[in-house]
Amino acid sequence: MPKWLDNAIFYEIYPQSFRDTNADGIGDLNGITEKLDEIQALGCNALWLNPCFASPFGDAGYDVEDYYTVAPRYGSNQDLKNLFDEAHRRGMHVLLDLVPGHTSVAHPWFRESCRAEKNELTDRYIWTQNIWDSPENLACIRGISERNGCCVTNFFSHQPALNYGFYEVTRPWQQPMDAEGPLATREAMKDIMRFWLQMGCDGFRVDMAGSLVKNDPESKGTIRLWQDVRAFLDREFPDAAMVSEWGEPDKSLQGGFHMDFLLHFGPSHYNDLFRCPEPFFSSRGKGDASEFAAKYRENYEKTQGRGLICIPSGNHDMGRLAHTVHGDDQKIAFAFLLSMPGAPFIYYGDEIGMDYVEGLHSVEGGYERTGSRTPMQWDHTTNAGFSAAAREKLYIRQDERPGRPTLEDQKADGHSLYNEIRRLIAIRQAHPALQSNGKLEFVYAEKDAYPLAYVRSSGEERLLVILNPAARPVSFDSSLAPDEAVYVYGGRVSCEKGTISVPPCSAGFYRV
């Protein structure tokens, strides 16, 4: 595993909405470079950029038209290289968003694949043999090509699925993983990775990483495919980090990824903590973290220390944290996010409590996700410092509600969410037990009960983390005796005769 992941703290940037330097209403790469010092001042030392490649932007750039070229609206390849260089100069690392599962229908690969005459790209995508032959359990597009057949799609209908083969072949048009077409697709994706890594990229967050091989119910074929990619990277780019959007760490880490995201869907119970009618991290105190803890423990044991499990504050695909976890409750949520194993990921704007904006029309395939993709709120200048463009030219309408948070205000307020997160990051970086590879043991995570408590350890250092978002005092029995506090928010715990009493709305890290 790359050594730099040991203490990595990532900042996710949606390029369209971060900082616009040329007044066209859309964020750009130079805007990200301009704000590197601000990101570093927060305490983040790594970036994840959502797709910045050429695209018709039917799905915010996840419909790639050219994997080798930066979208002109963001700048140039040289601008991206400059961003890599400036990040490295500050000791920071940059992950690009790799979309290996599908392209746009505008990609030259797809146009060649549509031709009736057989060519080297005929099998780059998954086609049935006949226009009337629909693939079972898979969406498709038909009637747009010279060739006789319909093409399997992923997600939106304008995203044809790239061909990595089928683990179980059940129809004549399905190709096995080791057929010429699927192998050529795999090598083409390695070439793309090689191109950007040679330019200075430090690795990739991989979109829909668990979906490449079709008819693969236990993911055995997809795991094998990524193991081959991992072997390529180990040979040529051993310091390149690979982070998967998979949501099943026991599979993705076996495939050779260094880290897997817990998703807002799937089996992780991530939503129980932050995004449900009664999240655990709420002062109402009606939530439940027990199923999350049980599933996390199960995945943690399955992975046997091979890699990291990431719990992000949010991302471009889910509602803003501040929409369901309100006010100072967010500080305790971040005490959790910044004291768990795996590299933390902070979604731009979550550090100042940016909220989800209701009622926006869909922009570039965002639909209900659009409200989480609004422009960053820097200060009180035009368009909150995001852009000098006229308001009507902004890529997505900003949060225009009175009292919207800005970085300028949050920095000036010593008790703000921003300053609490800075404090938490500094404490995490000062204690190896709290960093990515520190061990985890849940101490108290009972059904419908508070607090949540766990021990993080590394070498001789053992820290007991106790989190009580509820607006009431709680207690639990433990053989552990909290000693020196390395972090306290909302009041210290007390311990008497094996019972630990925890103040309301509090978080603390204690030596044991």
CATH 3.30.420.40 fits 102-161, yes or no: no
Model confidence at 49, in pLDDT bands (50, 70, 90)? very high
- List the beta bridge partners of residue 260: 244, 309
Closest CA to 71 of 87, 86, 51, 49: 51
Whole-angstrom Cα distance, residue 336 to residue 453? Answer: 10
CATH H-level superfamily of 439-511: Golgi alpha-mannosidase II (2.60.40.1180)
pLDDT digits (tens, 9 = 90+) for 201-229: 999 999 999 999 999 999 999 999 999 99
Domain ranges of the chain: 3-101+182-429, 102-161, 439-511
pLDDT digits (tens, 9 = 90+) for 451-487: 999 999 999 999 999 999 999 999 999 999 999 999 9
- Residue pair 60/16 in contact (Cβ under 8 Å)? The answer is yes
Residue 300: the pLDDT is 86
- Number of neighbouring beta carbons within 10 Å of residue 234: 11
Residue 307: the pLDDT is 79
Residue 348's SS3 state is coil
- Residue pair 155/115 in contact (Cβ under 8 Å)? The answer is no
Which pTM does this prediction carry?
Answer: 0.97
Sign of the alpha-carbon dihedral angle for 52, 55, 57, 63: negative
CATH 3.30.1510.10 fits 3-101+182-429, yes or no: no
